[in-house]
Amino acid sequence: MKVDGQHYRTIWLAEDGWRVVIIDQTKLPHSFGTVVLESEVQVAHAIASMQVRGAPLIGATGAFGLALALRADPSDAALAGAYERLLATRPTAVNLRWALNDVRARVAVLKPGERTAAAYRRAAEICDDDVAVCRAIGEHGLAVFHRIWERKGRPERLNVLTHCNAGWLATVDWGTALAPIYMAHDGGLPVHVWVDETRPRNQGASITAFELGRHGVAHTVIADNVGGHLMQHGLVDLVIVGTDRTTASGDVCNKIGTYLKALAAHDNGVPFYVALPHTTIDWTLADGIGTIEIERRDPREVSHITGRTADGRIETVAILPEGSPAANWAFDVTPARYVTGLITERGICPASRDGLAGLYPDAPLLRALR
């Protein structure tokens, strides 16, 4: 997508053809800058510190991490070590495991001297595929938006609520949940987005609002607790979110607070859609609540908040009384029964094993789960 008239992806190779450039998302929305990664250790840091974030982008970055590791040492031992270290950076988004498994499987069968080039090639393909997949998600989602707009009698604005950031900055380009929003806006559908601020790290307030604002999409940032009230008053036409891991039975793990939005949507008859690429489906799991590892992050993300002062300095301040403990669960699971539909690159399906099997009859392990 474009920032100040220039088209960006979220990750690309530097002119030297081997270093990896990313947008430093920890600096948004106050500054837009890039960071150059030269080693697997720097890639691991970028993922863990959330310079890059969002499930598909974490996967793509991990793939480049393996390429950088192999460039330094293409041995079996180095490949195994880099795989484990990169996998440990963030536990919940399954795209990371998917991308690391994919690259490892392709290079492990090659001679060490051939591995680096193969890993770079595959990482680049993963990026290109992600762009194509997100574009397709956008097109399928756009049809949903049009249907709801028509059903509601073509209101002056179509109010969409989203949580966290599932936009182009969470993927390689386009985004998942935000892709149909961009397409709706570009096509003249009068879309307006309620942006949940998404405490504690405020990905909605800092990243989704940045994206939508730069693209000219009408939006309003709201505190995380507002959505239920808006739904009760008919001010939300649909909810659309991304996901970090969706089980083979359609349970959806996404940013903490998603579950509460799904409950409120259910109570108010508001459609609740989840947009996802195939790389986010964990075909090995049937029950999301009991089995998905939920990342727990530094409580400091809850007890402190960062922003820009009137004179332009970025400052972090404490917001809790001294001595009050804080806890920081980063994701929750929305059971499939609260999900109106899964919007994938192959189309839309019910959030269920049969729904996913209909779209992905070729999926590995699906049979074993039946």
Contacts to ligand MRU by CB under 6 A? 53-56, 93, 164, 166, 170-171, 175-176, 203, 242-244, 254-255, 330
- Is residue 344 within a helix (H) or strand (E), and if so which, with residue range? strand 341-344
- Our CB check for ligand MRU shows the closer of 23 and 119 to be 23
- Our CB check for ligand MRU shows the closer of 116 and 171 to be 171
Closest distance to ligand MRU from the beta carbon of 173 (Å): 11
Closest distance to ligand MRU from the beta carbon of 43 (Å): 15
Please tell me which residue in 244, 251, 282, 332 is annotated as part of the active site. 244
- Our CB check for ligand MRU shows the closer of 115 and 163 to be 163
130 is catalytic: no
Please give the angle made by the CA atoms of 131, 56 and 74, to the nearest 5 degrees: 100
The Cα 71–Cα 95 span in angstroms is: 23
Closest distance to ligand MRU from the beta carbon of 12 (Å): 18
List C-alpha distances in Å: 293 to 92, 250, 253, 266, 289.
6, 16, 10, 25, 9
The reply, when asked if residue 53 is annotated as ligand binding, is yes
Q: 179-186 vs 112-151: helix axis angle to the nearest 10?
A: 60
The reply, when asked if residue 203 is annotated as ligand binding, is yes
The reply, when asked if residue 55 is annotated as ligand binding, is yes
**Position with the least CB separation from ligand MRU:** 242
**Greatest Cα pair distance in the chain:** 63
The reply, when asked if residue 245 is annotated as ligand binding, is no
- Our CB check for ligand MRU shows the closer of 116 and 162 to be 162
What DSSP line would sit under 62-89, residue for residue? HHHHHHHHHHH--SHHHHHHHHHHHHTS
Residues belonging to the binding site are 53-55, 90, 203, 254-255
* Known binding-site positions for substrate: 53-55, 90, 203, 254-255
Name the residues annotated as catalytic.
244
